[in-house]
Amino acid sequence: MKEQKKSKKGGGAEKINVLLVGSGGREHAIAWKLGQSKRLGKLFIAPGNPGTAKFGENVNIGVGQIRELVEFAVKNDVQLAVVGPEDPLSEGAVDTFEAAGIKAFGPSGAAAKLEADKAFAKQLMRSSSISTAEGRVFDNFPEAKAYIASRDEAVVVKAAGLAKGKGVYVCDEPSDGILAAEKIMVDKIFGSAGDMIVVEDKLLGEEASILAFVDGKSIYVMESSQDHKPIGDGDKGPNTGGMGAYSPAPVVTDKMMDRINSEILVPLVAGMNRSGAPYKGILYAGLMITAGGPRVLEFNVRFGDPEAQPILMRLKSDLLEVMLAVCEGRLDEVDLQWDQRPAVCVVMASEGYPGDYEKGKEISGIDEAEQLPDTIVFHAGTAVKDGRVVTDGGRVLGVTSLGDSIAEAKENAYKAAERIKFDGAYYRGDIADKAIRRKV
Ligand code: AMP
Ligand code: GLY
């Protein structure tokens, strides 16, 4: 936002070796952006993907192998670890890096509970007077069932733990809510992430994602964005990790952003300090902009995926500098410059996702897609096999373009996506339509 001062740091300072942890589209976008930094020495990505390999060295260590990651960092003179996904954050990756004397970008394990434990998040919101849906937490199915059955409005049933963005069921009928609770708590489709559930009221409005850098004291809000969680056009079908995103989100006017800052972000950071888990890293507020103002759907403790792709396409400033400022508690020195042009990311997925899907389908046309102006194809679930790029995940690619308007950014991203082919390629056709309807 506007009020921050200019950074005093130039490009002359010493080079920094960075270990980026993760392998998704978000990490490709982060690696691409870090690759532009004058401060970057070596970049290692663990485990990375064929996209991140263009900007550094992929290292074959999984995101859950925290001890091995830290050992690698120590041996390779890494000065900064950047942890992309939520699982290693909630397992305390940042604490372990820091204990070994390595700066780490992201919240501590205790602070990452904000995402990893929706019951904790609900409690913290309540005690910090942050507006969210009315909700109740249950640790056993019979009580959850009785509660849902006693209601005659729509309910939202959420696994309390981490479920890769798929643990939320928006149920217009209580009977569907009971089925969802049963799947989560009795059938354990998300394992122990479903030991507890949150049952909350359904909120009406338009969603937006607000991401901010936080260093424990200061908050620097990034440009707004919006994800598309359901698999199908018109927001139909089951939720996914995210099928596309755009930035900015026109539903977030300047006035709304001020409210989000003062009613949500500031009290949240204060609440985390009070709870004994000061917050540092990226704070992601998933919001419903209702008629009564912004309400929190969830907090995440990292860059959104795919929101990171359009947001980082628009970031003109040095990402490494701001990450260092966060780690060193001097975010108040930072001022970020943004490309005023909107960006749109269309996720190309494997047929069957978010259910079962096949892997290993050859992908063609990525280079042709990237020949379009201001377009980058971020890899998410890909691998290289016998020298060819093949599908290796549910969300395969994030085709991201800038444009002079959001409609033009959408057109560019879809033109690029049309050049890319693989068996069973699936993507939504309506990414950014909500924003276009608001005429940006
Ligand atoms: P979450 O992972 O909690 O953000 O939920 C995933 C998606 O479910 C959100 O992006 C919303 O589309 C939807 N959702 C979650 N909570 C609610 C709610 N209380 N009311 C309406 N929709 C919701
Ligand atoms: N795009 C939603 C998420 O990253 O959780």
Ordered by where they begin, the domains of the chain are 16-108 (3.40.50.20), 140-195 (3.30.1490), 204-333 (3.30.470.20), 343-435 (3.90.600.10)
Cβ of 410: how many Cβ atoms within 10 Å?
A: 24
- Cα(89)–Cα(301) distance, integer angstroms: 8
For the stretch 23-49, pLDDT in tens is 999 999 999 999 999 999 999 999 999
Distance 223 CA to ligand 2 centre (A): 16
- Cα(231)–Cα(242) distance, integer angstroms: 8
Q: Which atom of ligand 2 is nearest to the CA of 302?
A: 4
* The pLDDT of residue 164 is above 90: no
Q: Are strands 343-350 and 244-247 parallel, antiparallel or unpaired?
A: antiparallel
Distance 9 CA to ligand 2 centre (A): 31
For the stretch 194-206, pLDDT in tens is 999 999 999 999 9
Distance 166 CA to ligand 2 centre (A): 10
pLDDT for the residue 328:
97
Q: Which atom of ligand 2 is nearest to the CA of 307?
A: 1
Ligand nearest 153 Cα, by number?
1
For the stretch 322-371, pLDDT in tens is 999 999 999 999 999 999 999 999 999 999 999 999 999 999 999 999 99
Q: Are strands 197-201 and 57-58 parallel, antiparallel or unpaired?
A: unpaired
For the stretch 217-255, pLDDT in tens is 999 999 999 999 999 999 999 889 999 999 999 999 999
Binning pLDDT at 50, 70 and 90, where does residue 5 land? very low
For ligand 1, atom 12, the nearest C-alpha belongs to: 229
* The pLDDT of residue 288 is above 90: yes
Q: Which of 240, 296, 301, 307 to mutate to test the pocket of ligand 2 (most atoms within 8 A of CB)?
A: 307
Distance 297 CA to ligand 1 centre (A): 5
For the stretch 128-155, pLDDT in tens is 999 999 999 999 999 999 999 999 889 9
Distance 185 CA to ligand 1 centre (A): 19
Task: Measure CA 210 to chain center.
Answer: 10
Average pLDDT rounded to a whole number, residues 274-279: 96
Binning pLDDT at 50, 70 and 90, where does residue 7 land? very low
Pocket, ligand 1, Cβ cutoff 6 A:
133, 156, 158, 165, 168, 170, 200, 202-203, 207, 229, 239, 286, 297-298
In this prediction the pTM is 0.94
For ligand 1, atom 2, the nearest C-alpha belongs to: 165
Binning pLDDT at 50, 70 and 90, where does residue 166 land? confident
DSSP labels for 111-174?
TTHHHH-HHHHHHHHHHTT--B--EEEESSHHHHHHHHHT--S-EEEEESS--TT--EEEESSH
Average pLDDT rounded to a whole number, residues 253-280: 97
- Cα(436)–Cα(431) distance, integer angstroms: 10
